[in-house]
Structure 1
Amino acid sequence: MSILSIFRGQISPKRLSQFSCIINIKDGSRYMASYEKYAEHKPIEKIRNIGISAHIDSGKTTLTERILFYTGRISEMHEVRGKDNVGAVMDSMELERQRGITIQSAATYTIWKDHNINIIDTPGHVDFTVEVERALRVLDGAVLVLCAVGGVQSQTLTVNRQMKRYNVPCLAFINKLDRMGANPKKVLTQMRAKMGHNAAFIQLPIGSESKTTGIIDLVTQKAIYFDGNYGELIRYDEIPQDMRVESHDKRQELIEHLSNVDETIGELFLNESSLTEQDLKNAIRRSCMKRTFTPVLVGTALKNKGVQTLLDATLDYLPNPGEVKNYAIKQLKNGKEPEKIILDPTRNGEKDFLGLAFKLELGKFGQLTYFRCYQGMLKKNDSIYNTRNRKKVRIARLVRLHSNQMEDVDAVYAGDIFALFGVDCASGDTFINTQKFDISMESMHVADPVISMSITTKNTKDRDNFAKGIARFTKEDPTFRFYWDDDNKESIVSGMGELHLEIYAQRLEREYNCPVILGRPKVSFRETLVDSCEFDYLHKKQSGGAGQFGRVSGVMEPLPSNKNTKLEFVDETVGTNVPKQFVPGIEKGFYAMCEKGLLSGHRIAGIKFRLIDGAHHIVDSSEYAFQMAGQGAVRQVFEDGNWHILEPIMSVEVTAPEEFQGSLMGQITKRKGLITGTDGNEGWVTLYAEVPLHEMFGYSSELRSSTQGKGEFTMEYSRYSPCVPELQEKLVREYQESLGNDQQQKKKN
């Protein structure tokens, strides 16, 4: 096979995609690779599983595109918001290409310097945070991308918390050095102050902003330049004369930060011994894997600078799957505490297979389930068992993924990320190849939804498609939830933000031909008594034959505020005036009437029904008669008592930069909220407030627009509290109008 035949396009792209070793010959923008298949199994020491994570628009997908290009995985680079309507290879969904954002995490694998690198590109929007959560759960290391202008932003902090949760070592890559206002030193200061990282530069930029020409490697003490049309030709040179003092100072700073966390370097530093390049590399690797130090690299992915050195750092400093401790939980009998077992990924042929299903997706050929193999090996035609439901699955097809493309393999080994078809499971299920159902792995953390909206189909004939789409999306994404609100008789979807729900509404229309309407959901108000009220109600009905007779008397009183969502029924009768067999009927009548209040149509809550006395008839009394008496008693109290409407109050926590504190407080006050406290930390402020739920609709968009996308909030139910008189009057008026409309409609019919 001649090189000339490659350039003339005489080899099919499918054939070409099987090769990986880069030949240093180019034609325009294309690099040719040969002789080594991507899917070939590597020893565990030569495998890296990494994720690319960052705040929105920090350049994650562009960086991944450059990585795939330089490693020979793709032959052309495209921009995320490209004018050629192609888009980045990792943004395979049509919506992603149109909006220029990543919605779903995408997996791929490539080869760099004889190492197999599995990469997961994750979204940056807080709305799709579960995709980052899934990726970090199964990865051994990560690249935290920071914008040289924006620095540490809200989602950067979220990603940092997720990395800490799963104990994932990371490299920091300060991207977009070419942008006006780029300031990597400020970003490093923010990393130390806001994120608490023991971080230091291992690279420095040569030049600034648009005049950035290369980088200085502080470990090797060399200047690195990226020549050629696409930065493909790497040239090493001496450090420029005007940067030697700064390079020396920053190298000393690097050594000092390392000596604080690494004993070996600490001793050499104290003894004033000269440190070799290998000494530094070993120390960075040891401390990075322990998460006690974060090496900071610099570059600009869009301008093709610093990507190859980032790949080298990934191999040098991030762990292979054999160096990471992963645990399975073994359930012990006789009520003993579960035992943690360390998995061994090094002996593939000797250990049982154990894998975790971390993501579900509907592919062209049915449900596609993403797996990470933690131990052992799995071959085509093997059988595996789900430890949760004990179902057996036979593996007909094993694939590895390159974005939305699949490549068949015959076997997978510990450390590999792969996918299977036709596996009925949930996200977070553990699979093994023996019937030891007492072993499983911890699942991932799933955040609670922060926003809810009502959802209805535009056309009633689309209900079947709607049900299929909702069933699929709720199974794939644990942060997207759907339920029927029996209080308000409407379908509700909940998610991580308005964009999150909007994307799923668009996907229902595109993928299931089911246009839907998203609207503001109704709030679950409650009705309750203000003061205690006595009742004495007689239910008597005589219509020939057996009659109905039941008399109940007692007190209905409000429960304390900490119980104002509950209902209580207490039987305080003495003697036989109300036979005990009829008391359940009274209780049933009380609970039935509390389903719908007479003030606004919402449920009654926060009430205690004390049954004190009553009367029965030897012939006409029955459980049904006393049930009617119980209902009548509630109606009587409604007419005689003093009632008001309760509304749900939410505990809200808002985090944003300090300069926005005034506008945040104004927004909370405008929404009838009560600020309960504030907390400041290195330029960021956190507001704690209590706000009525019905005032929080639309707050997500308002917060993001008023804080340049840096603000975020969490909200959870706190309690029910009496609503203001104006709102109560409005709710009562609307309910009376709806009853009047219903009566008019009945008359017409």
Structure 2
Amino acid sequence: MHDAILNPGTTLNLGVLAHIDAGKTSLTERLLLDNGAISELGSVDAGSTQTDTGEIERERGITIRSAVAPFAVRGGDGPQINLVDTPGHPDFIAEVERALSVLDGAVLVLSAVEGVQAQTRVLLRSLRRLRLPTLLFVNKIDRTGARSDSLLADIRARLTPDILALSAVRDAGTAAARTAVRTLEQPEFRMAAAEALAEHDDALLARLVAGELPPADDVRARLTRQCGAGLLHPVFFGSALTGEGIAALTDGITTLLRPQRTTPEAPAAAPRGTVFAVERTGAGEKVAYLRLFSGEVRERQRITYWQREPGGKQTEFSGRITGLDVVTAPVVSVPGVPGAPRAHGAAGGKPGRRLTAGSIGRVRGLPGIRVGDRVGAPGDRPEQYHFSPPSLETVVRAGGPGQEARLHAALLALADEDPLIRTRAAGGGATSVLLYGAVQQEVLAARLERDFGLEVVFEPVRPVYFERPAGRGEAVTEIDPHGANDFLATVGLRVEPAPRGAGVIFARETEWGVLPRAFHRAIEESALRTLQQGLYGWEVTDCTVTLTRTGYVAPLTVAAHFRQLTPLVLMRALKRAGSRVFEPCQTLEAEIPGDALNAVVGCLVPLGAEITGSTEAGPSWLVTAELPVRRVQEFQRALPGLTRGEGAVWSRPGQDRPVRGPVPNRPRTDGNPLNREEYMRFLADRSLADRSLADRGLDD
């Protein structure tokens, strides 16, 4: 029903997203098969899919890490589509977060049987917030219980009213289910399409009110514009297993979506791109997946990339690309005839000397690069995350003696692939990591065993809290010629609140030239590290730390004096400012039978929930509430019993709030700079340990 927009030579980076088990990996397989990229359809149950290449993914039948699978539409006659298959399980939402930053468009998959599910709502809200062009694909129309018209009504009521079904279904819920494409040449459908478009088009609305039905080409152009702006979401029906409706979806991808994030001045522009995935080869070499937005990069080229630390500080690195594989669709010798599977895996590609804007490449030779790093100039503002960060913390201990160092190194390596797990030393050779849930913990344990040969023990998970300064506080320690100050350095610091979401801002009232640059760097790095444990042991955020005074004794002072003194001064300033402990919350939406309202509200209130609304919807009620993350699972377990199994609940990131009741403390692992004597003993013990290692030749 559309004239093609994407031409051969064009590359579109397309995300496939869904609630778990809606069939997105099966859809990816079908698109690859129908366009000649693979010779047979892989099976999730059999573990033979192209994108779930890891042993754990194949065993569990779920996607854990994002994978890129390229194909050329119609076997080479059309544009190249880089399919980015993302996890559906909520425990791996961070993978979806990273994929969103590199996409041109998305296909959100729903099951025709289960319909709108919790993760479906979270995903579409984020896609709409980004104004990312999104098509909806309703899968499994041939399964018993599949719906079409009633499901469209559910989508409008519970997901978004801004939809337009471009296909219809006959015999839904049977093996004979078939789809029919709806065309704008049909006056009835053209009117329905125009009315949907008029919700965001006042000029079109005026024409409809005047009784004018626009021509098909005019409606088609408006549909393309609104879809491209993320205002309207075309809906397609089909079955990934049988292939029904896939041709219409492919046509929608190539006519309604288009690359939007590539700057036209490439390759003259400076290279700019994002690393959205990291993997390791069998030999342990790090491979980074880079989406380039402008310019170009070549093999053997030295590039600059930036890493953003938890406090918001950006650090510049550089390195030389030793290997570059451009993700490229398989070459099909005869158009329309499926080619052989690629020997090197789902990411596809061939060794290439040049990666151009709009494309994805597998880059080698940058051992320090991490997921989320930016190639080119640094970002001018902090990352905007669209999903909540991990809200659970656990401590990992090695199962055998003498394996603590190996465990810590292994977790650091895994943190390159998923920076949100945020490793930190937890004392006694253990390491703390952040998690989304139990499935992620199980996968982490399996990877540590298979990839690193480590058996580990996890302590019970606990909620993650954080601190914010309650006021303003200052402290200073001067160089003391009489020896009262154990460090040959002067440090003065001020701590005060910063705007919500600002992270940690480090500022200076002293001039750069007063200290050598290495001393400035030592103070800032030490301050950011110290704020990972505030007055109650939780990470401090949304604060400004200002360096107010400095001094040193040349040539006796070294950077270590500033690095070791800064925690004492900073924590003294924070203690004078005070801090409050906050906890993350989830916004819940519970759809319940009318007679269960009192029971559900009576359950939520003792859990610490704030009821934000209750709306009657026919025989049901929709209750919204803000509930601490640590109590969400309790409510989810209780809901079926309160509603005879008829209740449904959805959640999304909510606002944090101050902890009510006793303030939780987390054990310190930094020597406790709140207590000078304890901290000095900690430094002395660490110095003795370092010297012992050096004497035994183990300091490396």
- Is 1:413–2:356 an aligned residue pair? yes
Q: Where does residue 495 of structure 1 map in the other structure?
A: 435
1:427 corresponds, among 353, 363, 371, to: 371
The code of the aligned residue for 2:393 comes to S
- Kindly indicate whether the alpha-carbon contact (under 8 Å) linking 2:113 and 2:147 is maintained by their aligned counterparts in 1: yes
- Is 1:55–2:19 an aligned residue pair? yes
Which structure carries more strand by proportion?
1
Q: Where does residue 554 of structure 1 map in the other structure?
A: none
- Is 1:128–2:92 an aligned residue pair? yes
2:406 corresponds, among 465, 477, 482, to: 465
Higher mean displacement: 255-264 or 164-173:
255-264
2:305 corresponds, among 386, 390, 394, to: 386
Distance change (3 Å), C-alpha of 1:394 and 1:492: closer
Q: Where does residue 275 of structure 2 map in the other structure?
A: 357
Distance change (3 Å), C-alpha of 1:120 and 1:700: farther
Q: Where does residue 455 of structure 2 map in the other structure?
A: 515
What do the CA deviations read for 1:138-192 (whole angstroms, capped 9, x no partner)?
A: 1111111111122221101111122133221111111111122222223322332
How far 1:521 moved relative to its partner? 4.7
- Kindly indicate whether the alpha-carbon contact (under 8 Å) linking 1:265 and 1:283 is maintained by their aligned counterparts in 2: no
How far 1:212 moved relative to its partner? 4.2
CA distance in 2, matches of 1:704, 1:482: 34
CA distance in 2, matches of 1:121, 1:602: 38
CA distance in 1, matches of 2:267, 2:278: 28
Q: Where does residue 686 of structure 1 map in the other structure?
A: 624
- Kindly indicate whether the alpha-carbon contact (under 8 Å) linking 1:399 and 1:418 is maintained by their aligned counterparts in 2: yes
Q: Give the match's secondary structure for 1:98.
A: helix
Distance change (3 Å), C-alpha of 1:662 and 1:482: farther
1:258 corresponds, among 191, 194, 197, to: 197
How far 1:347 moved relative to its partner? 2.9
Distance change (3 Å), C-alpha of 1:253 and 1:405: closer
How far 1:269 moved relative to its partner? 4.3
How far 1:289 moved relative to its partner? 1.1
Distance change (3 Å), C-alpha of 1:413 and 1:404: closer
- Is 1:677–2:611 an aligned residue pair? yes
Q: Where does residue 718 of structure 1 map in the other structure?
A: 658
Matches within 5 A, 1:106-255: 106-112=67-73, 113-219=77-183, 249-255=188-194
How far 1:680 moved relative to its partner? 4.0
- Kindly indicate whether the alpha-carbon contact (under 8 Å) linking 1:356 and 1:441 is maintained by their aligned counterparts in 2: no
Matches within 5 A, 1:524-535: none
- Is 1:285–2:224 an aligned residue pair? yes
The code of the aligned residue for 2:270 comes to D
Q: Give the match's secondary structure for 1:209.
A: coil
How far 1:45 moved relative to its partner? 7.5
Q: Give the match's secondary structure for 2:124.
A: helix
2:41 corresponds, among 61, 71, 77, to: 77
2:52 corresponds, among 91, 100, 103, to: 91
How far 1:115 moved relative to its partner? 0.6
What do the CA deviations read for 1:11-47 (whole angstroms, capped 9, x no partner)?
A: xxxxxxxxxxxxxxxxxxxxxxxxxxxxxxx979822
CA distance in 1, matches of 2:221, 2:583: 54
How far 1:480 moved relative to its partner? 1.6
CA distance in 1, matches of 2:176, 2:27: 17
What do the CA deviations read for 1:329-367 (whole angstroms, capped 9, x no partner)?
A: xxxxxxxxxxxxxxx622323322222222222233511
Unaligned runs of 5+ in 2: 1-5, 307-313, 328-344, 466-532, 539-579, 665-700
Distance change (3 Å), C-alpha of 1:370 and 1:186: same
CA distance in 2, matches of 1:364, 1:279: 54
CA distance in 2, matches of 1:441, 1:418: 25
2:255 corresponds, among 316, 331, 337, to: 316
Q: Where does residue 455 of structure 1 map in the other structure?
A: 396
Distance change (3 Å), C-alpha of 1:661 and 1:357: farther
CA distance in 2, matches of 1:194, 1:376: 42
Q: Where does residue 398 of structure 1 map in the other structure?
A: 324
CA distance in 2, matches of 1:47, 1:187: 33
- Kindly indicate whether the alpha-carbon contact (under 8 Å) linking 1:173 and 1:297 is maintained by their aligned counterparts in 2: yes
How far 1:259 moved relative to its partner? 3.0
Distance change (3 Å), C-alpha of 1:522 and 1:207: closer
CA distance in 2, matches of 1:156, 1:96: 21
Distance change (3 Å), C-alpha of 1:404 and 1:415: closer
Matches within 5 A, 1:269-668: 269=208, 275-320=214-259, 324=260, 326=261, 345-365=263-283, 366-387=285-306, 388-401=314-327, 403=346, 407-423=350-366, 424-432=368-376, 437=377, 443=383, 445=385, 447-485=388-426, 491-521=431-461, 651=585, 653-659=587-593
- Kindly indicate whether the alpha-carbon contact (under 8 Å) linking 2:8 and 2:78 is maintained by their aligned counterparts in 1: no
How far 1:714 moved relative to its partner? 5.5
How far 1:90 moved relative to its partner? 0.8
Distance change (3 Å), C-alpha of 1:482 and 1:700: farther
Identity %: 25
- Kindly indicate whether the alpha-carbon contact (under 8 Å) linking 1:375 and 1:413 is maintained by their aligned counterparts in 2: yes
- Kindly indicate whether the alpha-carbon contact (under 8 Å) linking 1:44 and 1:414 is maintained by their aligned counterparts in 2: no
Unaligned runs of 5+ in 1: 1-41, 222-246, 327-343, 526-594, 596-600, 604-645, 725-749
How far 1:195 moved relative to its partner? 2.9
Q: Give the match's secondary structure for 1:260.
A: helix
Distance change (3 Å), C-alpha of 1:661 and 1:168: farther
CA distance in 1, matches of 2:442, 2:37: 33
- Kindly indicate whether the alpha-carbon contact (under 8 Å) linking 2:265 and 2:295 is maintained by their aligned counterparts in 1: yes
Q: Where does residue 509 of structure 2 map in the other structure?
A: none
How far 1:311 moved relative to its partner? 0.9
TM-score, length of structure 1 as denominator length: 0.61
Q: Where does residue 566 of structure 1 map in the other structure?
A: none
How far 1:219 moved relative to its partner? 1.9
What do the CA deviations read for 1:586-614 (whole angstroms, capped 9, x no partner)?
A: xxxxxxxxx9xxxxx999xxxxxxxxxxx
Bigger relative CO (Cα 8 Å, ≥ 6 apart): 2
The code of the aligned residue for 1:144 comes to L
Larger radius of gyration: 1
